[in-house]
Amino acid sequence: MTAYEDVIAKYEPVIGLETHVELGTVSKMFCGCSTEFGGDPNTHTCPVCLGLPGALPVANEKAIESTIRIGLALNCSIAEWCRFARKNYFYPDMPKNFQTSQYDEPLCVEGYLDVEVDGETYRVGIERVHLEEDTGKNTHVGTSGRIHGADYSLVDYNRAGIPLVEIVTKPVPGTGALAPEVAKAYVTALRDILRTLDVSDVRMEQGSLRCDVNTSLNLPGAEWGTRTETKNVNSLRSVERAVRSEILRQAEVLDAGGRIVQETRHFQETTGDTRRGRSKEEATDYRYFPEPDLVPMAPDPAWVATLKDTLPELPAARRARMRDVLGVSADDMVHLTNAGVVDLVGATVEAGAPVGEARNWWLGYLAQKANEREVDPADLGVTPAHVARLVALVADGSLSTALARQVVDGILETGADVDTVVAERGLAVVSDTGALEQAADDAIAANPDVAEKVRGGKLPAVGALVGAVMKATRGQADAAAVKQILLARLGVSE
């Protein structure tokens, strides 16, 4: 058994995820400043997001709408009345000395998201979805890059006040050895939903989707253990690695008779380990109180009902529908999902290709090309419409499969469409019998010994002549047809 299997045989992991999503609104949460990424430092600021005395916030309706839509997509109940709260703390990334957030009155509560791992469904309970504002960005200048030992620090408030939604799961027990995979599957499913809702660009590497991963271990039958909260988890793969490494680390502490301390830990991308951060044993007292400068939110139930009715088709429903459209088995569907090509195959079928062909292209040659280029199949630059056209040309005999692959190479190099590549590169199958007969005669003349053998009854020798003709036609002839022509010219029959 591996060390990990040993640990799982002894302990039960519990996971919990806190995810922050920066909404893609045009303006900030409580003022009209731009949310655009990458402006010069402190150019997207005003008295409200700088927390100047007397400035008054006004809540961004679009952000509230997006939060409610997220809650609805996660099967939550939407509060009929709730308030923002002040979370008081002093840190220079928040010039107001408090963050406007939500405390005991979140907009959305009590939902769930079902995620699938290896064909099994795990229900992840959603505790709350609330709306808050992002903080500014500190840069500590000096060799350490951290506040300790920095020569000086710079603060950029462009990000301060960007609407931020926090999605907190309930603790998830019962995943056993698959805890890391379930954590990753949850963040993946959540990201796909957020993308479908079009509320955020959900880019983990740019920080518009950020995830804190809580992990604990307990002995079977015992109460849940003390959790640690791993921050800095900047990719889906890291979510999985963070849970796994934290399970291993905690087991080692527990096996040695130690106890787990409730603390934040920081994920190290290079080593895959977590490093101790700040202790959370004594809860920070943020002195939350209802925000007096903002009116309570009371979303009209009729409006919420409309938002619910107008949600787009969510990924799980789309997958179920695609499975019907494609008529594939559950296993095949898992295979297509893992390869990230369900929608691509679906769209290729909708563009007129048979399912089998669409599937073969996306799982075969195109998957290989995407892999080589280290991009998702969807970002390859070959579209379902291209593939449907290729399939049609192969079906009517204008292209062989080998030629169709060359067309794909051409699309990847030039970005042109199928017919343009075929025309520019002269990739159509040579079906002109006269041209093929001429090439066959040339091959016979150039290889008299081989021709003699074939005439003498050694039929397999004709392969060398077929090869010569294929070479002369740059692979654009149908090999079976070439063979028949050669045999006929040599006066032998099979």
The DSSP output letter for 75 is T
Judged by beta carbon distances under 5 to 8 A according to partner kind, the member of ligand ADP, Mg ion, Zn ion, none in contact with residue 227 is ligand ADP
Residue 39 CB neighbours (<10 A): 14
Question: What's the min distance (Å) between Cβ of 125 and ligand ADP?
Answer: 8
Question: What's the min distance (Å) between Cβ of 328 and Mg ion?
Answer: 40
List, in sequence order, every residue forming a beta bridge with 22; answer none if it has no partner: 164
162 part of the interface to Zn ion, by CB under 5 A: no
74 part of the interface to ligand ADP, by CB under 6 A: no
Tokens of 45: 């600021």
Place of tokens 């640990």: 7
Q: Which residues bind Mg ion (CB under 5 A)?
A: 18
Judged by beta carbon distances under 5 to 8 A according to partner kind, the member of Zn ion, Mg ion, ligand ADP, none in contact with residue 467 is none
Instruction: Label residues 248-267 b or e (16+ Cβ within 10 Å = b).
Output: bbbbeebeeeeebeebbbeb
User: What distance, in Å, lies between the first and last C-alpha atoms of the chain?
Assistant: 59
Q: Are 206 and 263 in contact (CB under 8 A)?
A: no
Q: With respect to Zn ion, which residue has the nearer C-beta, 46 or 412?
A: 46
Piece of the chain touching ligand ADP by CB under 6 A; list 20-28, 208-216, 327-335, 421-429: 208-216
Question: What's the min distance (Å) between Cβ of 286 and ligand ADP?
Answer: 10
Question: What's the min distance (Å) between Cβ of 347 and ligand ADP?
Answer: 36
Q: Are 71 and 123 in contact (CB under 8 A)?
A: no
For ligand ADP, the nearest residue by Cβ is 16
Q: From edge to edge, which strands make up the β-sheet containing 85-88?
A: 98-101, 85-88, 289-290
Collapsed DSSP state (helix, strand, coil) of residue 207: coil
Residues 333 and 145: their CA atoms lie apart, in Å, by 46
Judged by beta carbon distances under 5 to 8 A according to partner kind, the member of ligand ADP, Zn ion, Mg ion, none in contact with residue 421 is none
Q: With respect to ligand ADP, which residue has the nearer C-beta, 229 or 240?
A: 229
31 part of the interface to Zn ion, by CB under 5 A: yes
171 part of the interface to ligand ADP, by CB under 6 A: yes
List, in sequence order, every residue forming a beta bridge with 297; answer none if it has no partner: 82
Using CB under 6 A as the binding rule, the residues of this chain from 219 to 258 that contact ligand ADP are 224-225, 227, 229
The residues of the shown chain that bind ligand ADP, judged by CB under 6 A, are 14-18, 168-171, 214-216, 224-225, 227, 229
The residues of the shown chain that bind Zn ion, judged by CB under 5 A, are 31, 33, 46, 48-49
